[in-house]
Structure 1
Amino acid sequence: MGTVATTEKRHSHASDKLHFPRANLQTITTLGKGEFGEVLLSKAKGIEENEAESVVLVKSLQSRDEQLQSDFRREAEMFAKLSHPNVVRLLGLCREVDPHYMILEYYDLGDLKQFLKISKSKDDKVKSQPISTKTKVSICAQVARGMEHLSNHRFVHKDLAARNCLISSQRRIKVSSLSLSKDVYNSEYYHYRQAWIPLRWLPTESVFEDDYSTKSDVWAFGVLMWEVFSLGEMPHSKLSDDDVLEGLKMGKLKLPAPDGCPSKIYKLMVRCWAPGLKERPSFTDIVHALGDQPPDSKV
């Protein structure tokens, strides 16, 4: 996640308030490896005012790389400044010893990608529940509202995808940044010019010019909508990474309409993938477009 730089002084003041004693954290399990180090699911004692214990997400910084350390601080600063029901909250920081920890909110059903895939599972052991069109639209609208909040604060996510959103059993959604790129979602990242990038979620300008903006987040949001309506399919699953790169270069990459996807919704996806930045809608436009959907519209 990228953001704007801020002064050291303000940064240290905010982190004092967020200091959380490591002794009050108990690891439940390791979810995987992210760009900074291990991502853990933990129990935190007394981190939420009215709860004795909360299940939280812990991102650890296990790298000596200066750029990664700076990115880690930036991400923590960003979450500390944001306050929106559809964006994950930063609950605390542990920085007295290495590795440093960032403690973030967690939702009981985990990441949205898993939820979508389980919903169409044929496995009897898994309790799969079909997701209605109304719920799919609600999921997309909630992500759009979270992203509108980020863009209003001039923050750029850079890795918006179903795998980076959390979902609760009440179908509430929060935009997060798990970025479990090293193992769990290895196939969703591509090694290009010394970096792991979410190639199938990025527009031409991000891949070839390293240009990330709210408008590249809008492109990724179009792909996320497609993921929701295709129940967690891999975008361009029939194409190799090289084919996707080639398609981006030629400006010929477009995902097909998922089965049963309302045409209005698909048209909105296609607008998100406009080659020109100015042609792509803003997150405010998207919030309005999704809010105007009649609840059971099949159009």
Structure 2
Amino acid sequence: KSKSSKKSGHQKNGSNADGQEKSDDTVNSNKSKKSSGSNSYLEQLAVPRSSVIDLLQIGKCDFGDVLLGKIKENDCKSPTASAKEEPVTGDEVTHAQDGPAAQTEVTAEDEKISKKPSNEELNEIKPENDYKAVMVKALTKVKDEHCCAEFRRQLDLFRTVSHKNVVKLFGLCRDKDPHYMLLEYTDWGDLKQFLVATSPSTTPPNGSVESKPAAPKPPPLNVPQILALAHQIGRGMDAIYKARIIHKDLATRNCIISSDFSAKISMPALSRDKYSKEYYKLKNQLQPVRWMAPECLQDDDFSIKSDIYSFAVLVWELFTQATELPFKELSDEELVAQSQAGKLDWKVAEKTPENLHKILTSCWSLNPKERPSFSQLVVAIGNCLQSEYPKEPPAAAATPAPAPATEPTII
């Protein structure tokens, strides 16, 4: 236990790890002084490292470790956001209503780090009384400018956007190294794991998601439930767009879901281990090439239109219940080559309602200008729900808590 804590750089009560490089200025840039405005909002976000307890390491992202933990509700910060939630046409559409509340009892323990947390330990990170579950992203690669910039970019995204379908930023720990970004977490966790758990298929997608012959599987999602998830994620992305921010890694693995069937956009980006098969090293960076628009692969040209391309892939994942990778028959090298040559032949998933085929297919247009906006997608999906499934029963209410909440590789 003590060895893994020392190695990962996360110690009890927030003490510095031996040899850990100081990172006081890395939230902004190693080469520039922090402005007074930047200082102000960083102070507003400040949370003492000692407030974060019961840490469990679950993987690694590009710039450091990803952990789950708990924080007292009184210690959570509420940064002033510039992108407030706005009503959208079809905003009230929902056919997947509240599911049963998952078990939320927590056993208070000393702060701990575990490379491979058990199912019982993962249950213990769920909220109890005034504690909130959090996902912790630690900046450990403080000498890498790209990593520091990406940490700051993600911090700005979740600080700026305030929407019920985007995870909340609960604070930033800067009093000890490494710095911690504290993001909202949910009781059912990783959306991709949820999709796999509720899928009729038992085969993990190309080895990227672990599967166990555990308890009886919950029933597969129906079309209205899938559309409800797509509708929520589309609304969250529309809020991100209105904040003039680009996500760059939109996929089911980077969304979370709660037991009230609420989907939220997040950014665990576990590119180093759990979802390593979904990333490919391109131009010296691990990139989710199967979700990326051709202009991103060719020219590093990321925009809201490339996020829309990724959103259509995410909808494809929803309807296939994440049981396979996009273009699984192609190697990463072959996929990149075909995408850059404009030869990828995207088709909507089999269960997709026919009146969504055209708009989803247009999301994959080679010309970014021909792709729809997120607001158009939200309206189209909402209208589809209202017209095609106006009286569909809320089957989610009968869906038991799935395996993702207890798998050791959540998010």
TM-score, normalised relative to structure 2: 0.68
1:4 — aligned with what? none
Write out aligned runs for 1:163-202 (5 A).
163-202=253-292
**Larger gyration radius, structure 1 or structure 2:** 2
The Cα of 1:97 is off from its aligned counterpart by 1.6
95-104 vs 74-83, greater mean Cα deviation: 74-83
Q: What is the rounded CA distance, in whole Å, between the counterparts of 2:178 and 2:39 in structure 1?
A: 18
2:181 — aligned with what? 102
The Cα of 1:48 is off from its aligned counterpart by 4.6
Structure 1 counterpart SS, 2:217: coil
2:333 — aligned with what? 242
2:145 — aligned with what? 66
Alignment counterpart, residue 83 of structure 1, candidates 162, 176, 182: 162
Q: What is the rounded CA distance, in whole Å, between the counterparts of 1:293 and 1:12 in structure 2?
A: 46
Runs of 5+ in structure 1 lacking a partner?
Answer: 1-6
1:11 — aligned with what? 38
The Cα of 1:126 is off from its aligned counterpart by 4.8
Structure 1 counterpart SS, 2:384: coil
Q: What is the rounded CA distance, in whole Å, between the counterparts of 1:257 and 1:156 in structure 2?
A: 24
- CA contact 1:134–1:295 (8 Å) conserved in 2: no
> How big is the alpha-carbon RMSD for the aligned residues of Structure 1 and Structure 2?
1.8
Q: What is the rounded CA distance, in whole Å, between the counterparts of 2:62 and 2:385 in structure 1?
A: 40
The Cα of 1:33 is off from its aligned counterpart by 0.4
211-220 vs 282-291, greater mean Cα deviation: 282-291
The Cα of 1:247 is off from its aligned counterpart by 1.6
| Residue 343 of structure 2 corresponds to residue 252 of structure 1 | yes
Q: What is the rounded CA distance, in whole Å, between the counterparts of 1:82 and 1:266 in structure 2?
A: 30
The Cα of 1:140 is off from its aligned counterpart by 0.5
- CA contact 1:134–1:296 (8 Å) conserved in 2: no
- The structure-2 alpha-carbon separation of the partners of 1:296 and 1:169, relative to structure 1 and needing over 3 Å to count, comes to farther
1:34 — aligned with what? 61
The Cα of 1:264 is off from its aligned counterpart by 2.1
Q: What is the rounded CA distance, in whole Å, between the counterparts of 2:63 and 2:190 in structure 1?
A: 19
Q: Percent identity?
A: 39
Post-superposition CA distance 1:199-230 (Å, at most 9, x none):
00011110110010000000000100000001
Letter in 2 for 1:108: D
Letter in 2 for 1:238: E
Letter in 1 for 2:195: L
- CA contact 1:215–1:280 (8 Å) conserved in 2: yes
Letter in 2 for 1:113: K
Post-superposition CA distance 1:219-272 (Å, at most 9, x none):
000100000001002111111112211221221213333232212233322111
Q: What is the rounded CA distance, in whole Å, between the counterparts of 2:217 and 2:134 in structure 1?
A: 24
1:45 — aligned with what? 72
Q: What is the rounded CA distance, in whole Å, between the counterparts of 1:172 and 1:56 in structure 2?
A: 16
Q: What is the rounded CA distance, in whole Å, between the counterparts of 1:153 and 1:266 in structure 2?
A: 28
94-103 vs 69-78, greater mean Cα deviation: 69-78
The Cα of 1:296 is off from its aligned counterpart by 7.4
Letter in 2 for 1:25: V
Letter in 2 for 1:105: E
Structure possessing the higher relative contact order (Cα contacts under 8 Å, 6 or more residues apart): 2
- CA contact 1:235–1:255 (8 Å) conserved in 2: no
